[in-house]
């Protein structure tokens, strides 16, 4: 397995993040929508958090996390206060954002907005970060979807929340960022049964593991299928967080390595223009 203690000492010396881009979302730039799937490069955290750790809930030095968040916001041309994140709890719940949150962030897993200047960010370290945009109506969204959120409707709920703001389903596009791939995601029989009880067709997202009675789960494939079944155009970057310690934090890789905590990367999207 990839080592979670990969030599990443150089990461904190990079002064500017350089996020990955989605081919599906990139054309939205002409409508004033900027996005980025950030890696662990470009931050100041050290040790097991080396690089651009964005996790306020991690045990990293808070000063490092705030500086990292400021760098992400700066990439969009904003300040740290413009970067909006929630307290993610693996729920199907969505909030419509009209202004930055205070110290008490809502316990939800997705956000939508039609307000320029707000940077919506989804944190992840194996779960799926999904960025949404309707370039016609200029409405955006960001969601965090692990298996539970994806199964219970966070993706569909995000789309519906965008439509409630004025988006058109046929205009919405979405991209799934770096997440754990099927080759690294082994699950037990009770996990599989939970999915098949809802829809036997979900069997297509499970393949036999080398461990008897276990399966490998294709979370990215499942996520994109839920998005396209909801009637929107969707794709994925196709990058595995577990297998790439040079670029990504991974909860499962950290667990397998016996490390006490893990960093989180962020995927973010913003409507350009002055904040109201």
Asked whether residue 38 is assigned to any structural domain, the reply reads yes
Residue 267 has pLDDT above 70, yes or no: yes
Instruction: Give every CB contact of residue 56 below 8 A, 6+ residues apart in sequence.
Output: 62, 65, 85
**Which residues on neighbouring strands pair with residue 216, listed in sequence order?**
186, 207
pLDDT in tens, 71-129: 999 999 999 999 999 999 999 999 999 999 988 999 999 999 999 999 999 999 999 99
Task: Output the six-digit token pair for 144.
Answer: 């965090």
| The predicted structure's pLDDT at residue 8 | 54
| The predicted structure's pLDDT at residue 103 | 83
DSSP codes, 227-247? HHHTTSEEEE---BSTT-TTT
Residue 10 has pLDDT above 70, yes or no: no
The whole-angstrom separation of Cα 132 and Cα 175 is 7
Range list of H helices, 41-84: 62-75
CB 100 within 8 A of CB 119: no
* Residues above pLDDT 70, as percent of the chain: 95
Asked whether residue 198 is assigned to any structural domain, the reply reads no
Sheet of strand 119-124: strand arrangement = 33-37, 265-271, 119-124, 83-84
Asked whether residue 251 is assigned to any structural domain, the reply reads yes
CB 98 within 8 A of CB 115: yes
Asked whether residue 220 is assigned to any structural domain, the reply reads no
Q: How many domains does the chain have?
A: 1
Asked whether residue 276 is assigned to any structural domain, the reply reads no
pTM flag (> 0.85): yes
**pLDDT tier, 276 (very low <50, low <70, confident <90, very high otherwise):** low
Asked whether residue 171 is assigned to any structural domain, the reply reads yes
242: domain CATH number? 3.60.140.10
The whole-angstrom separation of Cα 16 and Cα 124 is 20
Owning domain of residue 70: 9-181+237-271
pLDDT in tens, 117-130: 999 999 999 999 99
Instruction: Give every CB contact of residue 74 below 8 A, 6+ residues apart in sequence.
Output: none
Asked whether residue 81 is assigned to any structural domain, the reply reads yes
The whole-angstrom separation of Cα 165 and Cα 167 is 6
- Going by their DSSP bridges, the two strands 128-134 and 119-124 should be labelled as unpaired
CB 122 within 8 A of CB 156: no
Instruction: Give every CB contact of residue 202 below 8 A, 6+ residues apart in sequence.
Output: 195, 196, 222
Asked whether residue 209 is assigned to any structural domain, the reply reads no
pLDDT in tens, 147-159: 999 999 999 999 9
């Amino acid at each position: 397995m990839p080592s979670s203690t990969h030599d990443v000492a150089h990461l904190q010396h990079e002064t500017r993040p350089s996020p990955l881009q989605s081919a599906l979302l990139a054309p939205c730039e002409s409508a004033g929508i900027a996005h980025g799937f950030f890696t662990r490069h470009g931050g100041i955290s050290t040790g097991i958090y080396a690089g651009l750790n964005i996790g306020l809930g991690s045990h990293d030095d808070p000063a490092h996390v705030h500086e990292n968040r400021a760098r992400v916001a700066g990439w969009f041309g904003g300040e740290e206060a413009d970067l909006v994140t929630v307290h993610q709890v693996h729920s199907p719940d969505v909030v419509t954002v009209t202004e930055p949150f205070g110290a008490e962030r809502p316990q939800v897993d997705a956000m939508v907005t039609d307000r320029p200047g707000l940077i919506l960010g989804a944190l992840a370290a194996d779960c799926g970060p999904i960025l949404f945009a309707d370039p016609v109506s200029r409405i955006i969204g960001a969601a965090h979807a692990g298996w539970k959120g994806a199964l219970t409707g966070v993706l569909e709920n995000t789309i519906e929340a965008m439509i409630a703001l004025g988006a058109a389903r046929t205009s919405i596009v979405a991209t799934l960022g770096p997440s754990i791939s099927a080759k690294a995601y082994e699950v037990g029989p009770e996990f599989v049964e939970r999915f098949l009880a809802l829809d036997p067709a979900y069997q297509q997202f499970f393949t036999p593991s080398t461990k008897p009675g276990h399966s490998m789960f294709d979370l990215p494939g499942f996520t994109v299928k839920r998005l396209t079944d909801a009637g929107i155009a969707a794709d994925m970057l196709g990058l595995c967080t577990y297998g790439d310690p040079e670029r990504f934090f991974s909860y499962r890789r950290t667990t397998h390595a016996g490390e006490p905590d893990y960093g989180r990367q962020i995927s973010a999207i913003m409507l350009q223009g002055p904040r109201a």
